[in-house]
Structure formats: C-alpha cells, structure tokens
Copies of this chain bind each other. A is one copy, B any other.
Amino acid sequence: MSFSTGRPVSEANLMESPKKLRIAIDAMGGDYAPEREIAGAAEALRTSNAKFDIILVGDEQVIRRQLQEQKANDVSCKIVHTSQTITMEDSPTAALKQKKDSSLAVGMRLHQEGKADAFVSIGNTGAVLSAATLILGRIKGVSRPTIGTFIPAEHGFCLLLDAGANVDCREQQLYEFAVMGSIYVQLLWKKKHPTVALLNVGEEKSKGTEAVVKAYKLLSASKLNFIGNVEGRDILKANADVVVCDGFVGNSILKFGESIPGYLKSKLKQFAERGFINKVAVGLALWPLLGVKGVTIIGHGSSTATGIKNMILRAAEVAHTQINKDIETALITSV
C-alpha cells in the first residue's frame, strides 16, 4: 500500500500527538458520491484503529442510507448535514458564492472554525482550491497556494509542484513552491535535507524561460538543498525529492503520467514482443524540424544505427513531398 500514497502512512506519526484529530470529508464531491467517500472513511477508521474522528459532510439522509447499504452503521462518524453540492461542471468561484451550504464550503468552514483539523475532498478541484484560499486564507509569505502530486519514481517518490493550481508562475512562486515542498518532505517523509530541483529543458542555468532562469538564481541563493535543473527524464529517477515547475507543465506531466497505466494495459500484448520497450524509446528519438527552407531531421546523439537508418528514410520521404511550399501557402494565405 505504501506505493499508492507517496510514502507509507506511519502509524507512529499518528500517535505522536495526544490530541484526537477530527478529519472532515466532503462526502458529496466525487463521481461516485457518497458511496466511495463513505467506504474510504470506514477503511481509514479500521486501518488506524480509530485514532481520529471522521466528520462526513453532506446530505444526511443520503449518507445514512449509504451507511446502511454498506452495513457500516457501526462506523462511528459524525455527520454534518448540508443541502447543496458543487458539481464538477460548476464554475469554482460562482459555485462558492451561490452554494454556501454545499458539502465543500461547509466542510472547509468547519476546518477554518477549528471544528475539524483537516479537510479531504475529491470534488471539483478548482472549487476546493478557491474555497481553501478564500475560507482558510493564505499562509503569510505565500503568494499562491500550490497543489502537489506524488510521482512514483524508481527509488522512491518525488513531490512535483505545482500540479495545476497556477498555470502562469513567476520566479517568486516557483521559489515558494520549493520551500513548501521541502518542508512537506521534511515533516512527512522525515528527510532532513530534501533535495529540490527546478524542472527545465536542460541542465545549464541559462536554460528555460525568463521566470525559470530567475528562479534558478533565487533557489541557488536560498538555504534549500537545491540540486539545480532537472529535465523531464529525471523525474522518474527520483534524484530530487521535490521538483518545481509551473502548473501548466506540472499538470501536463501529471496527466500524461496518469494515462500511462491505461496505455500499458492496452499494450500488454505487445510487451510479449521482443524489444517493445526499445521500440518505444526509438519512437521518441526522431524529430522533424519544420519551418525552415529545407529538410532537416534531428535525433539523439546516442541514436543507434537503426535509428539513424530510420531518420534517413524519413528524410527521403519528406524530401519527396512539397511540404515547405504547402506550409508557406497555408501560412501566408490563411487566417
């Protein structure tokens, strides 16, 4: 199970404080609400031997019916009734204004008022982010809250942030993500000096956008254990405990990564074929250059002879077409 949660959830951690925590759960937010929320809550209580209390936030009647159906009436959860639900289709800010009695908003307020010690939701991500920012407020020093994600890497986990909360980031935000991620890893994974890296298109500090180049400087000058730039290929190698990037890049990588299990399932038969993995690798290693007056095919410096043969055949194919004439025609006549 440790593989599925970034790090093993340590029972010891849960026992450190004498205070019994209360975790509020948005019972109505998910695609299969409240069935899975309630089943998850029951599982959590059993796993932890009820070392914390759970507050289910949502339609009380629906929740009670679901508890009965799951034969989980013995599960001792507090229920806080709400009459509204924010859906996945709702606009985050509008929904928060209009649905003040939604499970999401009420649960977040319970937390803000100190009646719950944490809040869990699988509902509309944008609405959860907005609610947290508006109701809980930002921590002093934080210009933008960030959502992180755990990437299951080769020899451990990597905390990648931002995972989509902030599509446009300046250097200051990237620096703040690094600080927050580093503290998360220190406290939750018990690592003393977490390694922090900046996602970039190359290792050199001059690489990347203006914001990324400036972030490199901020991170270098900080007290963080900054190991420099890493590229997309380094994420799964887990050289860095924390990898920071803007939310557009992080979200794209996260979602691309999420799609890989399904992709692998669809390709299982091909796995039996010899060399499948190498073929995928080679497939990614041949790049046409478009937009110049000519035919140029570029490849990895470590391409194999077969890879180079493929590049040559591709170059011949391209050279047989009138691609550049077509591009020129399309771009100077259209739009």
Contact = CB atoms under 8 A, between A and B. Distances in A.
A144 interface: yes
A202 B226 CA distance: 31
29 contacts: A5-B282, A13-B317, A13-B320, A21-B320, A30-B301, A31-B302, A43-B306, A44-B312, A111-B295, A111-B296, A119-B296, A122-B302, A122-B303, A136-B294, A139-B292, A140-B328, A142-B291, A145-B289, A149-B287, A161-B290, A163-B287, A180-B327, A184-B290, A184-B323, A188-B321, A236-B262, A260-B260, A261-B278, A261-B281
Nearest to A129: B289
A168 B213 CA distance: 12
Given A118-B294, A201-B247, A201-B248, A148 B287 contact: yes
Nearest to A281: B261
Nearest to A231: B255
A283 B148 contact: no
Interface residues of A, number: 182
Contacts of A23: 312, 315-316, 319
A227 interface: no
Nearest to A290: B180
Given A4-B306, A4-B307, A298-B122, A136 B293 contact: yes
Interface string A120-144: 1111110011001100111111101
Chain copies in the assembled complex: 2
A125 B112 CA distance: 52
A54 interface: yes
A83 interface: no
Contact of A316 (B14, B282, B330): B14
B132 A289 contact: yes
A228 interface: no
A73 interface: no
A209 interface: yes
Contact of A119 (B207, B294, B324): B294
Given A235-B259, A310-B4, A313-B5, A292 B249 contact: no
Interface string A267-285: 1000000001111111111
A230 B151 CA distance: 21
A39 B276 CA distance: 22
Given A117-B295, A168-B210, 11 more contacts: A13-B320, A36-B308, A40-B305, A40-B307, A118-B294, A121-B298, A136-B293, A141-B328, A142-B291, A184-B288, A201-B247
